[in-house]
Amino acid sequence: MKTFIIGISGVTNGGKTTLAKNLQKHLPNCSVISQDDYFKPESEIEMDKNGFLQYDVLDALNMENMMSAISCWMEENPEAPPLSTDSQSSMDIPILIIEGFLLFSYKPLDTLWNRSYFLTIPYEECKRRRSTRVYEPPDPPGYFDGHVWPMYLRHRREVDTITWEIVYLDGTKSEEDLFSQVYEDIMHQLAKQKSLVKDSHFNGKEIISWTK
């Protein structure tokens, strides 16, 4: 059975978790791993000279634990070649969505992605959405401009240099529009993957008959 691994990354409050949950509701056999669940405890987060805790960097995350969760999912859903391509519809393929703000600059994940999405929203909208959320610990005054947004810009510059295809999503679209856009794209990608598997299966048969 093939698998399909989707990355949803992007700016803080861009709507990553919301989109991932909406997709999971409509995709059978779909698991979600959220990077939000892997922050280290506050006592282990570094502080800069301005007294800002450095939460928006890879060092603030327990990536080893997140990788273990991904490995567990892979062990439960091994990528064995299908016995019959016709018996597996695109909807049966186990799907894993990994969503989080720092995915595509974390090298050990680079070879994993079957499809990569990146949500963006403008500075003002990001600041507004962030101010409506309650964080633990709470954002101190000046935190958005002094840490969150500069770290996002740094990450964004890294993502812009990535060589594999990233599908940028306009996070100011409605939840429903974003869901439809990405759901349709995933269906298209799954159908493509299925036809590739079918082709390689067919080619395999041809090679066998030639060598007889």
- Catalytic residue flag (residue 36): yes
CB of 177 to ligand ATP, least distance (A): 8
**What is the closest distance, in whole angstroms, from the C-beta atom of residue 26 to ligand ATP in the complex?**
16
Beta carbon nearer to ligand ATP, 26 or 192: 26
Closer residue to ligand ATP in complex, CB, 22/77: 22
Q: How far apart are CA 77 and CA 188, in angstroms?
A: 22
CB closer to ligand ATP out of 175 and 184: 175
Binding of Mg ion by 17 (CB under 5 A): yes
Q: 174 contacts which partner out of Mg ion, ligand ATP, none, CB within 5 to 8 A by kind?
A: ligand ATP
Residues within the interface to ligand ATP (CB under 6 A): 12-18, 36, 101, 129, 132, 173-175, 178
Residue at 71: amino acid letter: S
Overall residue count recorded for the chain in this entry: 212
Q: How far is the CB of 49 from ligand ATP (least distance, A)?
A: 25
Choose from Mg ion, ligand ATP, none: what does 2 bind? Cβ within 5-8 Å by kind: none
Compute how many other C-beta atoms are within 10 angstroms of the C-beta atom of residue 155.
21
Amino acid letter, 45: I
Burial of 48 (0-12, 13-18, 19+ CB in 10 A): exposed
What does each C-alpha distance from 43 to 25, 46, 101 come to in angstroms?
Answer: 36, 8, 21
Window 29-48: residues binding Mg ion (CB under 5 A): 36
Of the pair 17, 62, the CB lying nearest Mg ion is at: 17
Catalytic residue among 36, 37, 48, 145: 36
The minimum distance between CB 39 and Mg ion, in angstroms, equals 11
Exposure on the CB side of residue 103, measured as CA atoms within 13 A: 29
For 77-174, where are the alpha helices, taking DSSP H only?
Answer: 123-131, 143, 149-160
Q: Which stretch binds Mg ion (CB under 5 A): 15-23, 83-91, 157-165, 188-196?
A: 15-23
Q: For residues 24 and 98, is the Cβ–Cβ distance under 8 A?
A: no
User: 148 is written with which tokens?
Assistant: 């969150």
- For the annotated catalytic residues, the residue numbers are 36
Residues that bind Mg ion (CB under 5 A): 16-17, 36
